[in-house]
Amino acid sequence: MTKADSIPTVYVKSFAYIFVLPLIIWYGLTPYLLNPYFPQWTNTFFWLSIVYIIAATIFTTYLYMAKQGVCFLLAQENVATLISKGGAFHKVVVSLKDLEIDENFKVVEVKNVHKSWFKKLVGGFTFYGITPISDVMFIELRHNKLLKKEKNNGEVEYTVHRTTKRTSWIDLKITNYAMHFEDLETADRNKMTAIVTGTMRINNIYAFLKNRDPYGRLEETLWALFRGFIKEYRTDDLIGTMNPDNENAIDKTTLGKLFFKHVQKTLNIPMNGDRLDMIDFGFEIMNFFVLDINLKDRSAEEAAQLLYRTEKERQATVLKAQGEAERIRTIAQADADKIAMIAQKCKEAGILTEFQMLTEKLGPADATQLLYFIANNGAPNNEMLKKILAPFSSPQTTSLISTKGEVSTVEESN
């Protein structure tokens, strides 16, 4: 609320709106026109001027003086207007709904408050005192405004814009207040930033005004608490919610609830039902919600997300490779055991070592048949071996054993 006109100007204009026309009638029109020429109209004009004064007073105070904040105000619903007396805070003017303000300026929630018909009729019109003895009190109030911007990829980017305004109003309704916390450090010593909203309401007007910068002081306290709170968590737990494999990741809603408990426990604040009663600040807080939390450098945050996914892929690849290597080792060991067994059987049957690879090439079924024959008939000579190997030879080639025991392959004639 701002006063467009000075207090003397408001008084002068108000006097003119109410009394100029009646004075003209009484001291100009009546003695010089009505009495000499129309005496029968003198009383009529007198009473009309009285009616005008009453009507003009109502309209002037309601439509002009109240809007200027001089002597009168149009109280707003659950928005308190500050009134000073002798330069100090004196009282508030407010139209309350489901709220009451006690003698200590503590705001208490009540239900089903019955308003008088007069208050409903005048719509918050209130006389608060004679200005300038009593006057509307203005304060410099720093406040945060949350800005949202949707990016091309569909993600929402939040920013907090700090403003300072001169105002005489204090909003007593429940609001979401946004705070930007910087210079945070995680358990693994990464720098973070966060945007946190607190659902809160002013519950003590006097305590609120006692702080020169009430919102700023509250934000500084919560920032210090959030710094200590965030040190308990690793970076991956805070920004790893996009990765379903991270079982320790904490979603933003849960993080806000955990911070709420941390504030209550650290400051040992009394609970007003399910609300934190910040007595020294004049606020009560219902909950916190973490809108955004990132590494200080946004590109670093994207790199961290990529690094996390790459590490998960690398771990999966390593596990797959380890499994494949184990499978290869198992097969190789089985092959080695099989070769050792064949070598042992050849040795027991008196077969030359060169035949080991030959039996290996025959395959399990044919090699078993060959070894079974050898076991029952003894070590074959070259001619016998040739006869034995004939069924296993391809149609194009026949394996022959030279007289020196060496294996050679020649084309078979048709």
Q: What is the pLDDT of residues 237-274, one digit of tens each?
A: 887 654 555 566 788 888 999 999 999 999 888 777 78
Query: Distance (Å, rounded) from C-alpha 91 to C-alpha 93?
Result: 7
Would you state the pLDDT for residue 321? 67
Residue 66 lies in a domain: yes
- Where is pLDDT greater, at 236 or 384? 236
pLDDT band for position 97 (cuts 50, 70, 90)? confident
Query: Distance (Å, rounded) from C-alpha 65 to C-alpha 3?
Result: 10
Would you state the pLDDT for residue 268? 87
Q: Which of 35, 50, 70 is the last residue of a domain?
A: 70
Residue 325 lies in a domain: no
Query: Could you tell me what percent of the chain has a pLDDT over 70?
Result: 68
Would you state the pLDDT for residue 385? 60
Query: Is there a contact between 205 and 101 (Cβ–Cβ < 8 Å)?
Result: yes
Rounded average pLDDT over 187-196? 88
Q: Which of 77-86, 166-175, 379-388 has the lowest mean pLDDT?
A: 379-388
Block residue for tokens 């059987």: 345
Q: Which residues constitute the domain of residue 193? A: 141-165+173-296
Q: Is the pLDDT of residue 398 over 50?
A: no
Q: Is the pLDDT of residue 65 over 80?
A: yes
Q: Is the pLDDT of residue 203 over 80?
A: yes
Count H helices and E strands in the chain, helices first.
Answer: 13, 17
Residue 321 lies in a domain: no
pLDDT band for position 412 (cuts 50, 70, 90)? very low
Give the predicted TM-score (pTM) of the model.
0.65
Q: Do 145 and 292 belong to one domain? A: yes
Residue 307 lies in a domain: no
Q: Do 236 and 181 belong to one domain? A: yes
- Residues with Cβ within 8 Å of 95's Cβ and at least 6 positions away in sequence, in order, are 75, 76, 77, 78, 119, 124
Question: The domain spanning residue 209 has which CATH number?
Answer: 3.30.479.30
Q: Which of 70, 103, 126 is the last residue of a domain?
A: 70
Would you state the pLDDT for residue 355? 57
Q: How many domains does the chain have?
A: 4
Q: Express each pLDDT in 117-139 by its tens digit.
A: 666 677 788 899 998 999 999 99
Tokens of 189: 């010593």
Per-residue buried b or exposed e for 308-318, using 16+ beta carbons within 10 Å of the residue's own CB: beeeeeeeeee
Residue 312 lies in a domain: no
Backbone angles phi, psi at 136, to 5 degrees: -70, 130
Q: Do 199 and 87 belong to one domain? A: no
Residue 314 lies in a domain: no
Q: Is the pLDDT of residue 13 over 80?
A: yes
Q: Identify each DSSP E strand in 130-190 by its residue range.
A: 134-136, 139-150, 156-167, 169-171, 175-185
The candidate with the shortest Cα–Cα distance to 95, out of 72, 70, 126, 133, is: 126
Q: Do 283 and 400 belong to one domain? A: no
Residue 305 lies in a domain: no
Q: Do 357 and 222 belong to one domain? A: no
Block residue for tokens 């184990």: 326
Tokens of 375: 């076991």
Q: Do 269 and 190 belong to one domain? A: yes
Helix or strand or coil: residue 145? strand
Q: Express each pLDDT in 310-344 by its tens digit.
A: 555 666 666 666 666 676 777 767 667 666 776 66
Q: Do 283 and 199 belong to one domain? A: yes
Q: Which of 70, 95, 114 is the last residue of a domain?
A: 70
Would you state the pLDDT for residue 382? 57
Q: Which of 64-68, 137-141, 377-381 has the lowest mean pLDDT?
A: 377-381
Would you state the pLDDT for residue 234? 86
Q: Do 158 and 270 belong to one domain? A: yes
Q: Do 114 and 159 belong to one domain? A: no
- Where is pLDDT greater, at 312 or 88? 88
Q: Do 12 and 109 belong to one domain? A: no
Q: Is the pLDDT of residue 143 over 70?
A: yes
Which DSSP letter does residue 111 get? Answer: S
Residue 316 lies in a domain: no
- Where is pLDDT greater, at 304 or 173? 173
Q: Do 193 and 236 belong to one domain? A: yes
- Where is pLDDT greater, at 173 or 308? 173
Q: Mean pLDDT for the chain?
A: 79
Q: Do 210 and 187 belong to one domain? A: yes
Q: Which of 349-358, 373-382, 390-399 has the lowest mean pLDDT?
A: 390-399
Strands 107-109, 79-85: pairing is: unpaired
